[in-house]
Protein backbone atom coordinates (compact mmCIF):
# COMPACT_ATOMS: atom_id res chain seq x y z
CA UNK A 1 0.00 0.00 0.00
CA UNK A 2 1.06 3.55 -0.73
CA UNK A 3 0.06 6.35 1.64
CA UNK A 4 -0.16 10.13 1.49
CA UNK A 5 -0.71 12.24 4.59
CA UNK A 6 -1.34 15.83 5.54
CA UNK A 7 -2.09 17.75 8.74
CA UNK A 8 -4.19 20.88 9.16
CA UNK A 9 -4.07 22.94 12.36
CA UNK A 10 -7.46 24.00 13.66
CA UNK A 11 -8.12 27.65 14.58
CA UNK A 12 -8.89 27.05 18.26
CA UNK A 13 -6.45 24.22 18.99
CA UNK A 14 -5.54 20.77 17.84
CA UNK A 15 -5.19 19.34 14.39
CA UNK A 16 -6.88 17.12 11.84
CA UNK A 17 -4.61 14.54 10.21
CA UNK A 18 -5.63 12.85 6.98
CA UNK A 19 -4.51 9.76 5.13
CA UNK A 20 -5.26 8.38 1.67
CA UNK A 21 -4.06 4.97 0.53
CA UNK A 22 -3.69 3.35 -2.86
CA UNK A 23 -2.50 0.04 -4.26
CA UNK A 24 -0.08 1.70 -6.68
CA UNK A 25 2.57 4.38 -6.31
CA UNK A 26 0.87 6.70 -8.79
CA UNK A 27 -2.25 6.75 -6.59
CA UNK A 28 -4.39 6.13 -9.65
CA UNK A 29 -7.14 4.68 -7.46
CA UNK A 30 -7.60 5.62 -3.82
CA UNK A 31 -8.70 2.54 -1.87
CA UNK A 32 -9.11 4.08 1.58
CA UNK A 33 -9.01 7.36 3.41
CA UNK A 34 -9.12 8.37 7.04
CA UNK A 35 -9.05 11.45 9.22
CA UNK A 36 -8.21 11.76 12.89
CA UNK A 37 -8.75 14.72 15.22
CA UNK A 38 -5.89 15.35 17.63
CA UNK A 39 -7.10 17.71 20.38
CA UNK A 40 -3.71 19.08 21.45
CA UNK A 41 -0.57 19.74 19.44
CA UNK A 42 2.76 21.24 20.40
CA UNK A 43 3.26 24.91 19.62
CA UNK A 44 5.25 25.72 16.50
CA UNK A 45 8.99 25.99 17.10
CA UNK A 46 11.17 27.22 14.23
CA UNK A 47 13.41 24.42 12.98
CA UNK A 48 11.45 21.79 14.91
CA UNK A 49 8.20 21.60 12.94
CA UNK A 50 8.33 17.80 13.15
CA UNK A 51 7.62 17.94 16.91
CA UNK A 52 4.24 19.44 16.07
CA UNK A 53 3.49 17.34 12.99
CA UNK A 54 4.59 13.82 14.02
CA UNK A 55 1.93 13.18 16.72
CA UNK A 56 -0.98 13.75 14.29
CA UNK A 57 0.80 11.58 11.69
CA UNK A 58 1.24 8.84 14.30
CA UNK A 59 -2.47 9.02 15.07
CA UNK A 60 -3.68 8.78 11.47
CA UNK A 61 -1.17 6.04 10.56
CA UNK A 62 -1.69 3.96 13.71
CA UNK A 63 -3.86 1.30 12.07
CA UNK A 64 -2.28 1.46 8.62
CA UNK A 65 1.49 1.75 8.96
CA UNK A 66 2.10 -2.02 8.91
CA UNK A 67 0.75 -2.13 5.34
CA UNK A 68 2.52 1.01 4.06
CA UNK A 69 5.36 0.53 1.55
CA UNK A 70 5.85 4.22 0.78
CA UNK A 71 4.72 7.40 2.53
CA UNK A 72 4.24 10.75 0.76
CA UNK A 73 4.18 13.81 3.00
CA UNK A 74 3.47 17.50 2.46
CA UNK A 75 6.84 19.04 3.24
CA UNK A 76 10.55 18.35 3.15
CA UNK A 77 12.44 15.20 4.09
CA UNK A 78 15.66 17.10 4.71
CA UNK A 79 16.16 20.83 4.94
CA UNK A 80 19.59 21.25 3.39
CA UNK A 81 22.13 19.33 1.28
CA UNK A 82 23.94 18.23 4.45
CA UNK A 83 20.89 16.25 5.53
CA UNK A 84 19.50 18.43 8.31
CA UNK A 85 16.38 16.40 9.10
CA UNK A 86 12.96 17.76 8.30
CA UNK A 87 9.58 16.17 8.92
CA UNK A 88 10.13 13.47 6.31
CA UNK A 89 13.44 12.31 7.80
CA UNK A 90 11.80 11.99 11.20
CA UNK A 91 8.86 10.12 9.66
CA UNK A 92 11.28 7.79 7.83
CA UNK A 93 13.08 7.05 11.09
CA UNK A 94 9.89 6.59 13.09
CA UNK A 95 7.82 4.53 10.65
CA UNK A 96 10.65 2.67 8.90
CA UNK A 97 9.31 3.18 5.38
CA UNK A 98 10.60 5.20 2.43
CA UNK A 99 9.31 8.77 2.52
CA UNK A 100 8.86 11.26 -0.30
CA UNK A 101 8.52 14.90 0.67
CA UNK A 102 6.54 17.10 -1.70
CA UNK A 103 6.73 20.79 -0.83
CA UNK A 104 4.66 23.44 -2.56
CA UNK A 105 7.05 26.27 -1.74
CA UNK A 106 10.79 26.60 -1.83
CA UNK A 107 12.81 26.59 1.38
CA UNK A 108 15.93 28.78 1.33
CA UNK A 109 18.40 26.10 2.45
CA UNK A 110 16.79 23.21 0.51
CA UNK A 111 18.80 23.87 -2.63
CA UNK A 112 19.15 20.10 -3.12
CA UNK A 113 15.38 19.53 -3.55
CA UNK A 114 14.49 18.47 -7.07
CA UNK A 115 11.97 20.77 -8.79
CA UNK A 116 9.13 18.92 -10.49
CA UNK A 117 6.76 20.55 -12.96
CA UNK A 118 3.34 18.99 -13.39
CA UNK A 119 0.38 19.82 -15.55
CA UNK A 120 0.57 23.25 -17.14
CA UNK A 121 2.04 24.90 -14.08
CA UNK A 122 5.22 26.93 -14.35
CA UNK A 123 5.67 26.67 -10.56
CA UNK A 124 7.51 23.55 -9.45
CA UNK A 125 6.92 21.24 -6.54
CA UNK A 126 10.08 20.53 -4.53
CA UNK A 127 10.85 16.86 -3.94
CA UNK A 128 13.13 15.29 -1.32
CA UNK A 129 13.28 11.69 -0.18
CA UNK A 130 14.58 9.15 2.35
CA UNK A 131 14.83 5.42 1.71
CA UNK A 132 14.37 5.95 -2.03
CA UNK A 133 16.65 7.82 -4.48
CA UNK A 134 15.47 11.40 -4.87
CA UNK A 135 15.54 11.15 -8.68
CA UNK A 136 13.16 8.17 -8.52
CA UNK A 137 10.98 10.06 -6.04
CA UNK A 138 10.80 13.04 -8.40
CA UNK A 139 9.87 10.76 -11.31
CA UNK A 140 7.14 9.18 -9.19
CA UNK A 141 5.70 12.59 -8.22
CA UNK A 142 5.81 13.62 -11.89
CA UNK A 143 3.73 10.56 -12.86
CA UNK A 144 1.26 10.57 -9.96
CA UNK A 145 -2.37 10.67 -11.03
CA UNK A 146 -3.90 14.04 -11.79
CA UNK A 147 -3.58 16.76 -14.37
CA UNK A 148 -2.80 19.62 -12.00
CA UNK A 149 0.36 20.92 -10.35
CA UNK A 150 -0.48 19.03 -7.17
CA UNK A 151 -1.19 15.31 -7.68
CA UNK A 152 -4.80 14.23 -7.01
CA UNK A 153 -3.87 12.20 -3.92
CA UNK A 154 -2.18 15.22 -2.33
CA UNK A 155 -5.10 17.48 -3.25
CA UNK A 156 -7.48 14.96 -1.70
CA UNK A 157 -5.51 14.47 1.51
CA UNK A 158 -5.22 18.26 1.88
CA UNK A 159 -8.99 18.64 1.48
CA UNK A 160 -9.62 15.89 4.03
CA UNK A 161 -7.22 17.47 6.53
CA UNK A 162 -8.96 20.82 6.09
CA UNK A 163 -12.38 19.23 6.60
CA UNK A 164 -13.46 19.92 3.01
CA UNK A 165 -14.47 16.33 2.36
CA UNK A 166 -16.65 16.82 -0.69
CA UNK A 167 -14.50 19.35 -2.52
CA UNK A 168 -12.01 17.03 -4.20
CA UNK A 169 -13.24 13.70 -5.49
CA UNK A 170 -10.88 11.13 -6.88
CA UNK A 171 -12.19 8.44 -9.24
Q: Is residue 35 part of a domain?
A: yes
Could you read off the pLDDT of 119-134 as tens digits, one per residue? 999 999 999 999 999 9
On the question of pLDDT at 147 being above 90, the answer is: yes
Q: Is residue 170 assigned to a domain?
A: no
Residue closest to 41 by CA, chosen among 26, 25, 62, 56:
56
Q: Please check whether residue 58 lies inside any domain of the structure.
A: yes
Instruction: Find the CATH number of the domain harbouring 9.
Output: 3.30.2170.10
Domain that holds residue 75: 2-161
Note whether residue 142 is domain-resident.
yes
Domain count within the chain: 1
Q: Give domain status of residue 167, yes or no.
A: no
Using alpha carbons, list the distances in angstroms from residue 128 to 122, 125, 135, 151, 152.
Answer: 19, 10, 9, 16, 19
Residue 73 to residue 91: CA distance in whole angstroms: 9
Q: What is the pLDDT of residues 8-39, one digit of tens each?
A: 999 888 999 999 999 999 999 999 999 999 99
- Residue 166, in any domain of the structure: no
pTM for the model: 0.92
Q: How far is CA 118 from CA 4, 64, 145, in A?
A: 18, 29, 10
Residue 171 lies in a domain: no
Does residue 47 lie within any of the structural domains?
yes
Amino acid sequence: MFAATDVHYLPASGARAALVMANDATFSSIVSEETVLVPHVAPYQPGEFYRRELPPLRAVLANAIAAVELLVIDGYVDLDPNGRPGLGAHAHEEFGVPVIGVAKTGFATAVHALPVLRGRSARPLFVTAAGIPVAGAADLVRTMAGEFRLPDALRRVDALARGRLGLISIP
